[in-house]
Amino acid sequence: MPAPMPASVIAALAARFDLHRLWEQPDADAFLRTVGPHIRGLAANTLAGRIDGSLFDRLPALEIVANFGVGYDNVDAADAAARGIVVTNTPGVLDEEVADLAVGLLLATVRQIPQADRHLREGRWPAGPFPLSPTLRGRRIGIVGLGAIGKAVARRLEGFDVPIAYHGRSRQPDVRYDYHENVVALAAACDVLIAVVPGGAATRHMIDADVLAALGPDGILINVARGSVVDETALIAALQAGTILGAGLDVFEHEPDVPAALLPLPNVVLLPHIGSASQRTREAMGQLVVDNLAAWFNDGRAITPVPESANIPARSTG
């Protein structure tokens, strides 16, 4: 385990395996030289930094990387697959939690709930009421990435009686929402854009200045995907210039560092990447990390391998 994970994960793995906590080693390089050749499984999260060839080279016996999170852009899954290393993630168990947060962040951003809270706490209410906010009424919602989390967001928003459209790699024939071939077209057709796509090179800065311009001066951006999906420089410029109305952000490009220019803006709601951060959901994610490792070494098959690992054969348990 290169970096700390929840205590329940550490305890469960330590009960089943010889668990080496790399962050506790006084000399990580020396440890990897001596113990690295014997390591067969890796429990990873974003705190571990990039998991790629530079680490794989030092772990020649590695068979599986169990990643804590549905997103796994912190792991070079393609390189892992080329080496016969299975990568797993934690899909399903966090979909509903992230969707709840996305809708909450949208409402907080549109109705300016944190700003109203500050108005009261700072004693400004006796001097005058909080200004009237924008509304969700009459807004058209665009979802960028209609996977499991995107669909969960859409189901919730159906209850708000707002029209929903989406963009993804392809049209989904069983989905009744309007489909747009690209993100610019989706943004032009909507006044709220919710990003729920995976991170990685394919989606880096897919929401850029052109998309924000198409979203327009009444537009609101919500990002619960990855910070890399949004061109933060373009977003800051759009917020400062009034190109869009506001933004709600749970993720940032260089977490935990947040651009200083965002902090004083009155038209943003900023959260410290808490999309799946409830105790119940994080415990379920951690259990899936444990279950993937146990299944691989006991039964020869991982439970939730990522697509890049689809062609890696089962491990022989004979």
How far is residue 287's CA from residue 66's CA, in Å, rounded to a whole number?
A: 11
Sign of the alpha-carbon torsion through 243, 246, 250, 252: positive
Active-site annotation holds for 255: yes
Mean local confidence (pLDDT), 37-44: 97
Q: Are 237 and 243 in contact (CB under 8 A)?
A: yes
* CB neighbours of residue 234 within 10 Å: 18
- pLDDT bin (cut points 50, 70, 90) of residue 315 is confident
- Indicate which residue of 226, 232, 253, 282 is catalytic: 226
The secondary structure element, H or E, covering residue 64 is strand 64-67
Let me know: does 227 contact 253? Beta carbons within 8 Å: yes
Report residue 204: phi and psi, to 5°: -60, 125
pLDDT in tens, 142-192: 999 999 999 999 999 999 999 999 999 999 999 999 999 999 999 999 999
Over the stretch 195-221, which tens digit does the pLDDT of each residue have? 999 998 999 999 999 999 999 999 999
What average pLDDT does the structure give for the chain? 96
* pLDDT at residue 94 tops 70: yes
Displacement of CA 235 from its chain's centroid (Å): 18
273 in catalytic set: yes
Q: What is the pLDDT of residue 142?
A: 98
- Does pLDDT of 97 surpass 80? yes
What is the model's pLDDT at position 318?
Answer: 61
> Sheet containing 246-249: which strands, arranged edge to edge?
178-179, 164-167, 141-144, 192-195, 220-223, 246-249, 268-270
pTM for the complete prediction?
A: 0.91
For the segment 2-12, the average pLDDT, to the nearest whole number, is 95
CA distance 292 to 248: 34
* Secondary structure element (H or E) that encloses residue 143, with its range: strand 141-144
**212: part of which helix (H) or strand (E)?**
helix 209-215
Q: How far apart are CA 311 and CA 292, in angstroms?
A: 17
Element containing residue 87 per DSSP (H, E): strand 86-88
Handedness of CA 25, 29, 30, 31 (dihedral sign): positive
Between the CA atoms of 306, 309, 312 and 315, what dihedral angle is there, to the nearest 10 degrees?
-40
- Cα angle 177, 101, 142; round to 5: 25
| The pair of three-digit structure tokens given for residue 213, joined into one six-digit string | 């311009």
Q: What is the pLDDT of residue 308?
A: 96
Is the pLDDT at 35 greater than 70? The verdict is yes
Q: Give the active site residue among 24, 158, 181, 255.
A: 255
Q: Enumerate domains of the chain plus CATH numbers.
A: 7-91+279-309 (3.40.50.720), 95-270 (3.40.50.720)
Residue 317, pLDDT > 80, answer no
How many other β-carbons are positioned within 10 Å of the β-carbon of residue 125?
12
Name the DSSP letter for residue 260.
Answer: G
Catalytic residue among 40, 58, 273, 301: 273
Taking only the tens place, the pLDDT of each residue in 101-143 is 999 999 999 999 999 999 999 999 999 999 999 999 999 999 9
CB atoms near residue 120 (< 10 Å): 10
Q: Please write the tens of the pLDDT for every residue from 243-296.
A: 999 999 999 999 999 999 999 999 999 999 999 999 999 999 999 999 999 999
The CA distances from residue 178 to 147, 167, 171, 175, in Å, are 15, 9, 9, 8
Asked about 158 being catalytic, the answer comes back as no
